Amino acid sequence: GEDVEQSLFLSVREGDSSVINCTYTDSSSTYLYWYKQEPGAGLQLLTYIFSNMDMKQDQRLTVLLNKKDKHLSLRIADTQTGDSAIYFCAEIPGGSYIPTFGRGTSLIVHP
Amino acid sequence: DAGVIQSPRHEVTEMGQEVTLRCKPISGHDYLFWYRQTMMRGLELLIYFNNNVPIDDSGMPEDRFSAKMPNASFSTLKIQPSEPRDSAVYFCASSLVGRNTEAFFGQGTRLTVV
């Protein structure tokens, strides 16, 4: 397909791990991103991964990239209520500087 | 830098009225994007500029929508006449081609057309 795809909702219990998945479109994409949108705010870059990497870890965040399947995932360890937000997967296709965003996954963290 | 600044934050207008949304990108950025966010369609790219020049406006839904970037520090998105289905949150974002080409978003303008 032509779209960056991600599931729309994910509900987890506080303290558990969250895994948000994304399928992107362009195998030549150089950078892949995760943006976070909190209520009433714009999107903010959470983390990114360069296409020659398989994994990137940053404190509670782990990004996994499977280039063969064009699959990107974001794992949040020890999920907190403050992690409740919409998470957008994005790519910049090869030869372009224009990001393509998924629909966003609403992460709901309950006690 | 204060980030991408959009105004107004909220706009309520009557159907048929002209609406103008404003954006000040981050100084030095060479790309500017206008997005629309709705529950039904998610985040849609309406138009983008490179060095103040409109490059792709294929996402603009109708001729009622127009956008300008008269200089590197200012852009407008105009809807004339506005319709209830234009109700959405409109985001402006800017980026600088470089290390990771991160897009910086403004806080958005929530438009309600009644």
Chain B residues with CB under 8 Å of a chain A CB are: 4, 31, 33, 42-43, 45, 48, 50, 56, 91, 93, 95, 97, 100-108
* DSSP label of A94: T
Q: Indicate whether B100 pLDDT > 80.
A: no
How far off is chain A from B106, nearest CA to CA, in Å?
Answer: 6
Which of A31, A42, A98 lies closest to B105 in CB terms? A42
In contact, B73 and B30? CB cutoff 8 Å: no
Percent of chain B with pLDDT over 70: 98
Q: What is the CA radius of gyration of chain B?
A: 13
Amino acid at A73: S
In contact, A92 and A39? CB cutoff 8 Å: no
Q: What is the mean pLDDT of residues B83-94?
A: 97
Amino acid at B50: N
Phi, psi of A34 (to 5 degrees): -125, 125
Give the span between the Cα atoms of B4 and B7, in whole angstroms: 10
Residue ranges of chain A with per-residue pLDDT less than 70: 1-2
In contact, B22 and B7? CB cutoff 8 Å: yes
Which of B91, B101, B105 lies closest to A92 in CB terms? B101
pLDDT number for residue B99: 67
Q: What is the mean pLDDT of residues B57-64?
A: 93
pLDDT digit string (tens) for B5-60? 999 999 999 999 999 999 999 999 999 999 999 988 899 999 999 999 999 999 99
